[in-house]
Structure 1
Amino acid sequence: MVLFHSLNNSNLSQWQVLNDVVMGGHSQANFGVNNQGFAEFSGHVSLENNGGFSSVKYPLSPIDITNFNKLVIKIKGDSNRYQLRLKTNKLDAHSYITYFETSGLWQELEFLFADFYPTYRGRRLELPNFPGEQMEELGFMIANKKAQDFKLEIAQIRIL
């Protein structure tokens, strides 16, 4: 099941950028369509004023995912490390995350739902891993504890 596809005129207005400015930081990010027609999450992570992250999230209508076991993303990164983040309920304070490395080339990466673990503000929680029953939000974050420019192109997100 395809959740997002850049080239099918997906509505990018639903995506929301969230930077460390909510905590006093100075990171900046944009999310939009690039010249090739792909969704692009790009900007600069700043460590000033205890900053250090930038993220973008995509709210979904609650999706029953009990018959699916993995999330597949087709992305092109910039050789940086990113988090892929899920929420069972968009009102939850915590997210379920996993990390992935980008190569500078187009990649199709698969992630088992069972491998996403719960975190809150960068700390792992003592809760079970992602239950794999419902998903209401997904997103990407860059938070590598260093100041850096970043660019992540997103072609497609689907579940299998």
Structure 2
Amino acid sequence: MKLNPTWEYVSDRVMGGVSDGSLSIDMDAQQLVARLTGHVSLQNNGGFIQMAFDLSPDDGVVDASDWTGLEIKLRGNGESYDVRLRTAQLSRPWQSFRAQVTSTASWRVARLPFSSFQPHRTDSTFNPAALRRIGILAIGKAFEADISVAHIGFYR
């Protein structure tokens, strides 16, 4: 099931960090892509830039329990990026369920089973019936980020 995200850009500047980046929507290889670029800095306790979207308006949830996981068509600069899922059971902005994906110079489809997402700063168990938000983050080290996403959705 293909999702139709309205991507938004968020950085560590919301908490005093100094990472700098941008999100653009471009045509690439005859397809519309969301592209996250920028510099991740660890200064001032920072360390991330991200592109993310809510699955439902008004903070609603999407039931993805009939699906096996998340499928992403991506390419980038060879770095690893976090894919983070937020569910209704999470109340703090730093809580999520996360997995990593490594970008390549050529377009590829990465499949991330829901079972591969690990809890981050929460004791909750991942519940695919309560999905709220999906994010792709350049995080955890100082580096130049460059990742493009042409498709994101659920797979069986």
TM-score of the pair, normalised by structure 2: 0.84
Q: Do the aligned partners of 1:114 and 1:132 also contact (CA within 8 Å) in 2? A: no
Equivalent residue number for residue 14 of structure 2:
22
**Identity within the alignment, %:** 29
1:41 aligns with 2:36: yes
Local SS of the residue matching 1:56: strand
Aligned to 1:140: 136
Q: What's 1:7 paired with? A: none
Instruction: Please identify runs of 4+ aligned residues in structure 1 that moved more than 6 A.
Output: none
| Residue 131 of structure 1, CA deviation | 2.0
Instruction: Structure 2: state its 5+ residue gaps.
Output: none
Aligned positions of 1:3-152 closer than 5 A: 3-4=3-4, 14-36=6-28, 37-61=32-56, 62-89=61-88, 92-93=91-92, 94-120=95-121, 125-128=122-125, 130-145=126-141, 147-152=142-147
CA RMSD of aligned residues (A): 1.8
In the superposition, the TM-score normalised over structure 1's length comes to 0.82
2 CA distance for matches of 1:127 and 1:101? 26
Q: Which moved more, 1:101-110 or 1:34-43?
A: 34-43
Which whole-Å deviations, capped at 9, do the CAs of 1:33-58 have from their partners, x for residues lacking one? 13523211111111222221111210
Distance 2:85 2:51 in 1: 12
Residue deviations 1:102-128, cap 9 Å, x none? 1222110001112211113xxxx4433
SS in 1 for 2:47: coil
SS of alignment partner, residue 151 of structure 2: strand
SS of residue matched to 2:3: strand
Q: Alpha carbons of 1:104 and 1:66: their partners in 2 closer, same or farther (altered >3 Å)? A: same
User: What runs of 5+ residues in structure 1 fail to find an aligned partner?
Assistant: 5-9
